[in-house]
Amino acid sequence: MISPTVFFVAIVSSMLINNVVLMRFLGICPFLGVSKRTESALGMSLAVMFVMVVSSILTYIIYYYILAPLDITFISTIAFILVIASLVQLVELFIKKISKKLYKGLGIYLPLIVTNCAILGVVEINIAQGYPEDYGLFNGLWVATTSAFGAALGFALIMFAFSSIRERLEAAEVPAAWQGVPVSLVVAGIMALAFLGLGGIV
């Protein structure tokens, strides 16, 4: 069995050190677009978290149990994006059937997730890490899943933090040219500087 520290390290490193938004530049669109209100930021994060973890598992299985044995890993890009897109469709379908409330809460974010590069990005990174070499084919799945979960947590953390900052930013007096996105980007830059300091943790 793999030691628990591997999972701990996977979570911390993908959540804080290699944060998807601030360090890997993934999911900038929702970061700028859906962070105006804390509520919507959290809704988006939740939807992303679910899709990210499940699609990590699915793509891992598809890559290592179907594409790799058939020696056709070169089609992984098209396979991954279609798997993610199908997953999103399925999730939407189930949410529609299960609960109206949930659909109202999360449904609006689901179509946006397909074009969210954070999902595809994390999936590609997970595959590029080559976990099976380090942990074995099956155990690697759990490490990949954990690190996808960590990445999603990191995304949620940044979305929440940034939406809170933005709520304050609304009240601040910003020069006309800097209003809106420019000042948001500079704020994000400063946040990224702060996150650089976490580099040595693991």
Partner 1 sequence: MAEKTKKNPMKKKKQQLGQLANFTKGIIRENPIFVFLLGMCPALAVTATLETGVGMGILVIFVLTASNIVVSLIKNFIPDEIRIPSYIVIIATFVTIVGMLTQAYAYALYQSLGIFIPLIVVNCLIMGRATAYASKNDVKSSIIDGLGMGVGFLAALALIGITRELFATGAIAYGVYLPLPFEGSIINTSMYLFNMNVFVGPAGGFIVIGIWLAIFNARGNYLKKKKEVERQAWIEEKKKEAAERKRKKAMEKAGEAA
Partner 2 sequence: MLAKLRMALILFIIGSLSGLSIVGVHRLTEDAIAHNELMQQYDDYVVIFPDIDLSDLQEEDIDEDIIQRRIDAYDQNGDLLGYIFVGRAQGHSGMNTILVGVDPSADIVKVVISATDDTPNYAQIIIDDYLPNLSNQRIDEVDYDTSTGATNTYNSVRTVIDAASLHVAGDPAMEAYLSVFDDAERYATNFVFDDEALEEEINIFNAADEIIGYAYIAFIDDESVYIIFDTDDVYQATVSQDVDTSVYDDDIGTKIADIEPEDDDLGLILAELKDLLTNSTRVSLEYIARYFELYDDEDSHIGYTYVGIADGFGGLNVIDIHINLDGELIEYEVVRSNDTPDYINPVLENFEQFIGDSSLSEDDALADDVTVGATRSATSIYNIINAAFEAHAEREGE
Partner 3 sequence: MSEYIIGTLVVMGIIALYMLTFLLNKKTDSPGDYKIDAIKCGACSNYACGVKQQFSEER
The residues binding partner 2 (CB under 8 A) are 72, 74-75, 78, 199
CB of residue 178 to partner 1, shortest distance in Å? 5
Decide whether 77 or 99 has the Cβ nearer to partner 1.
Answer: 77
Decide whether 69 or 74 has the Cβ nearer to partner 2.
Answer: 74
CB of residue 32 to partner 1, shortest distance in Å? 7
CB 20 within 8 A of CB 122: yes
The number of C-alpha atoms within 13 Å of 62 and in the hemisphere containing its C-beta is: 21
Task: Give me the residues that bind partner 1 (CB under 8 A), please.
Answer: 22-29, 32, 74-78, 80-82, 85, 114-117, 120-121, 124-125, 128, 176-179, 181-186, 188-190, 192-193, 195-196
Task: Give me the residues that bind partner 3 (CB under 8 A), please.
Answer: 29-30, 32-34, 36, 66-67, 70-72, 74-75, 78-79, 82-83, 85-87, 89-90, 92-93, 96-97, 99-100, 103-104, 107-108, 111-112, 114-115, 176, 179-181
User: How far, in Å, CA of 188 to CA of 135, rounded?
Assistant: 35
Question: Structure tokens of 60?
Answer: 């891992």
Q: Which does 199 bind (CB under 5 to 8 A by kind): partner 2, partner 1, partner 3, none?
A: partner 2
Decide whether 33 or 136 has the Cβ nearer to partner 1.
Answer: 33
Cβ contacts of 135 within 8 Å, gap of 6 or more = 2, 6, 142, 143
CB 103 within 8 A of CB 95: yes
User: How far, in Å, CA of 31 to CA of 34, rounded?
Assistant: 6
Decide whether 80 or 149 has the Cβ nearer to partner 3.
Answer: 80
The residue count for the chain: 202
Element (DSSP H or E) covering residue 144:
helix 137-171
CB of residue 56 to partner 1, shortest distance in Å? 14
Q: Which does 93 bind (CB under 5 to 8 A by kind): partner 2, partner 1, partner 3, none?
A: partner 3
CB of residue 128 to partner 2, shortest distance in Å? 12
User: How far, in Å, CA of 20 to CA of 41, rounded?
Assistant: 15
How is 52-76 classified by DSSP, letter by letter?
HHHHHHHHHHIIIIIIHHHT-GGGH
CB of residue 47 to partner 1, shortest distance in Å? 16
